[in-house]
Structure formats: C-alpha cells, structure tokens
Structure 1
Amino acid sequence: MSAVETPAIAAGAVAPARAGVPPLTVEHVAKSYDSDGRIVPVIGDLSLTLNEGEIVAIVGPSGCGKTTLLNTLCGLISADAGRIRWHGREISGQPSGVGYMLQKDLLLPWRTALRNVMLGLEIRGVSLSEAEERSHVVLDKLGLHGFDEHYPSTLSGGMRQRVALARTLVNEPDVLLLDEPFAALDFQTKLLIESDTAKLVRESGRSVLLITHDIEEAVSIADRVIVLSKRPTRVKAVYDIALDSDRTDMIAARESHGFTDYVRRIWADLDVARN
C-alpha cells in the first residue's frame, strides 16, 4: 500500500471521547493472508492499548507486519480474529477522528501546498474561507509560512513531508496513526520535523501510534515503546520511557540520562526477534 493518510480517514469527524476510556484498545487481534492457496500468518495474537494524550511507538523486525497492523486498526483491512475498540466501541469499517499518515507524501502535483492541505476539509464540506484559514495556521506552525502557493515539485523532501503532516493535522483528528513518516528524510530534517510533530500533538493532547524502524526515534519521541516479534507478530516487550528532558526537543531527548540504555535494551530485543 502506498503511504499517505487516506482522505476518507483524515476527513472524518472527531469521535467524542469517553472519560476514562482509551481511544484505542486492541484485544487478541490476528491476521493472515492467502498466498496462492497457502495461509500466511502475519499478526499472531496481539493486544495493546493507546491512552488519551499518549505517544506510543511500535518497532519490530522488517516484514513483521507493522503496516498490516495499522491498516487493520483503521479498518482498511479486516482482522481474522480479536476485537478493536475505538473509544470503547467496536466500529465496522473506518473509524472517525483518525488521521493516517504514511511514509510517502503523495501530494497532488497540480495543487499548491495550501490546496493539498485543504483537501480533507473540502471533502468534509468546510467553507472555502474557513478551510484556507485553518490550513494557513497549520502550515505556519510547521514552518511553512510563505510557501502556501508553492507546488510540490518546488519543495524539498522535508517541506513536502511537512505539507503532508499539515494535511493530516488540519482535520483535527484526536488520534494519529503514523507509518514511518520520517524514514526518508535526512537526519537534520528528521529531528526538526519530529520535534515539531511532538510539540503539536502534545500541546493538543492528541494520541499517536507511530510505526518506526528507528529505535532512537522511538525512544526520543514516545511515552511508551512496544517491541514486536517476527511473524506471526506478537508483543515481545513494552518499555515505559522516562527521560529527564523536554519531550518536544529530540536533541535533548537523545542526550538524556538513560536514553542509550533504552536503545540498547530495545536493540537486544529486536536482535533476538530476528533470529
């Protein structure tokens, strides 16, 4: 599947939160594929919870089914077994109030940065003036002031990814599903966008489920890191991340006491999971 937040999901209205109920609860979910008549298990017996205002990062061996998991959680594909609850309710199809952003920006080349950000709002029937105003605000917050009328072909990779992030955030989802959105960026740009993302979601109290192959990214940005096993994937380990730093400053997080220890322990879990 190509990597971009799906308009149908990004455009959904925000689901009302229920006091004390996690935005997302996953119980014993399993998923297999039929490959030329052979059943291939991808997700084994997997359970997790995403709490309100929490950033959770998921890491695992390459090919373990991380993207399949996200596609299952947001209703793009159906689970074979188990239960997925959004705000305490089992939902058929795609849940509302969920923004899904993947690795490639897939911006529409014939639309300016501003018009790309406005796409989901247009689908929802938001007035043109309100859509433009909201989109300008998010672009400015992501450091793109003055680039609203630029076309994707004139923007750097980092700028394009900021536009894609703005397109997701402008719809004001209460939960973000991020599938390696910073993987293709150079290190400096990655740190800047990670910091901007962390600041925006923490200030707004949004919940985030982040898929990443970068252990340092996971530890620096997340409140909790979930390590998955190889296929059929299960939860192998869970780390509550406690760093003595500003959790919106990725450099400070990497310099925090205990950061290296978390990275080494998670790496050891992944190394075992590969074997």
Structure 2
Amino acid sequence: MAALLRTENISKAFLFQGRLMPILEEACFAIEKGEFVSILGASGCGKSTFLELLCGISKPDKGHIIYQNQEITGKSGILGYMPQDDLLFPWLTVQENAMLPIKVKNGSVSQAMDRSRELARILGLEKHLHHYPWQLSGGLKQRTAFLRTCMMGSEVLLLDEPFANLDALTRILLQDWLAEISKQLHLTIVLVTHDIDEAIKLSDRMYLMTIAPGRFETIIEKKQFSDKAERRQVKQDILDHLIRGIKEV
C-alpha cells in the first residue's frame, strides 16, 4: 500500500549562539492510511521539531513532505496537530475552543456547532460542552484538545506527548480511549512519546530516532512482539537505544 504521508530526506537546523545547530538530518518517514505510528528517541533528538515540520509550523531547510501524493512542505492547516500543552483558552467553553479551527478558516458556524456536538458525543465530552477548561480534570482537558484537533478536518493527527502531564491512571485510561477512538474515527496517527510501554501498546509501527541531528535509525513492526517474551525484548532493545542516545550527548 502506498504511503498516505511521507517525508523525503528532511533536514532542519537552528541558529544558536551564532552557530547553525543541525536538529534533523535526511529524516525519511512514511505512514499508511489508518496506521498508528509512534516516534521514540532521546530528549533533544528532534521529535517535536519533526512534527512541527509535518504540520507546517516550520519549514525544512531541505527535503519534501508528501501527503496524498501532493507536496505540502511548509503548508499549515492540512494535518491536525496537538502539542504537548493543551493550549485551551480559559475564557472559552469546551465547544468554543473546539470550534476555533473552523472559525479561523471562516467556516460555517452552524456546521461547526453540529460537528463539535457530534464529535463531543463520540469522545465522551457531550456533557462538558458548556464547561470552561478550569472546570475540567486533566484527562478531560486532553480530550478537549483532541476534539479541537479533530475539528481541523484532517484524517491525519500529529500528537506530541499528549499524555505526558497526566497521572499514571488517567494516562492508562486515555491510552485505551485513544486506541478505540482512532479506530472508530478511521484516523491515521503519528504519536511522539517518551513512554516505551505506551508506544508498544498503541502502535502498529515504531520509529526510533538517533540523537540530534535526528534521523530514523530503526523501524519496529508490531508483528515483532506478538507474545510477552518478544514484547519484553522489544522494550529492552528500545531502552538500550535510548540509553545509548543519552550517553552520546
């Protein structure tokens, strides 16, 4: 099957104290329609930068981003993006926060209201549409941020450590919720995470990044860990990879 989204030799550097610091170097990535793919790597290897390039917040110095066989390099608003912090506006209700992507595009307010209610029902937020962020638990805030990301209308969602700031129990519950919702809504998901168990639990495939300048060194398929023993071995292999990255810093 052809990739729904792919990158071709993406490179990016930032100016730091008068020097160009390479963050990504010839990073090649691909995801098929309906896949759930995780990206793991040591802190500072360029995982979040890679998502920002995919969604058009930043533009690569070289390389190409291809979506549905069309070049989207440097174009924003095409792929759904959920940063680590929920970035909800405290003076807006759940529904008003969710409708922002459509309002920014000058879309139909009535259609936005209908769509937000429909998605809120699916995401378990129907009873909270008129609540404000300060009235919500951490888990409900993340669901609201996810709702707003879905309202962008893309079948591809880029999630940057969405559960990093949550307690352990809420995190596990939302992992199960995300796995179910991604199938129900037929989403294609790219997840950046530091949690190896989370990646193994949710992913069809996992990409491991080298330390900066980051590039994808290893791809692990779900079929490689079909039983508990294989799962433990895969977890250890990933842990060894991350430790090597830290030691190389």
Q: Same-fold call, TM > 0.5?
A: yes
1:138-157 equivalent positions in 2, closer than 5 A: 138-157=119-138
RMSD: 1.9
Residue 162 (structure 2) aligns with = 181
Structure 2 unaligned blocks of 5 or more: none
**Residue 117 of structure 1 corresponds to which residue in structure 2?**
98
CA–CA distance in 1 between the matches of 2:48 and 2:105?
A: 26
Amino acid across the alignment from 1:259: R
Greater share of residues in helix: 2
**Runs of at least 5 residues in structure 1 that lack an aligned partner in the other structure:** 1-19, 245-254
Counterpart residue type for residue 166 of structure 2:
L
* Distance in 2 between residues matched to 1:92 and 1:173, nearest whole Å: 16
Q: Deviations over 1:152-176 (max 9, x none)?
A: 1111111111111111113331111
Residues 214-241 of structure 1, C-alpha deviations (whole Å, 9 max, x = no match): 1111110010001111111121211001
Indicate which of 171, 176, 180 corresponds to 1:199: 180
Q: Could you tell which deviates more after superposition, 195-204 or 146-155?
A: 195-204
- Residues in 2 aligned to 1:87 and 1:177: alpha-carbon distance in whole angstroms: 16
1:273 aligns with 2:236: no
Q: Compute the displacement of 1:95 (Å).
A: 4.7
Letter matched to residue 262 of structure 1:
V
Greater shift in the superposed pair: 28-37 or 56-65:
28-37
Aligned partner of 1:58 among 30, 36, 39: 39
Return the TM-score normalized by structure 2: 0.91
Supply the AA of the counterpart residue of 1:237: T
Secondary structure (helix, strand or coil) at the match of 1:44 reads strand
Identity %: 35
**Contact map agreement 2:94 2:131 (CA 8 A) in 1:** yes
CA contact (8 A) 1:97 1:174 kept: no
Q: Which residue of 1 aligns with 2:11?
A: 30
Task: Indicate if the aligned counterparts of 1:42 and 1:231 stay in contact, CA closer than 8 A.
Answer: yes
The equivalent of 1:8 in structure 2 is none
Distance 2:5 2:167 in 1: 32
- Matched with 1:235 is 216
Equivalent residue letter for 1:71:
E
Given that residues 77 and 152 in structure 2 are in contact (C-alpha distance below 8 angstroms), is that contact kept between their aligned partners in structure 1? no
1:264 is the counterpart of 2:245: no
The answer to whether the aligner puts 1:224 opposite 2:231 as a matched pair is: no
- Deviant stretches of 4+, over 4 Å: none
- C-alpha separation in 1, matches of 2:158 and 2:143: 16
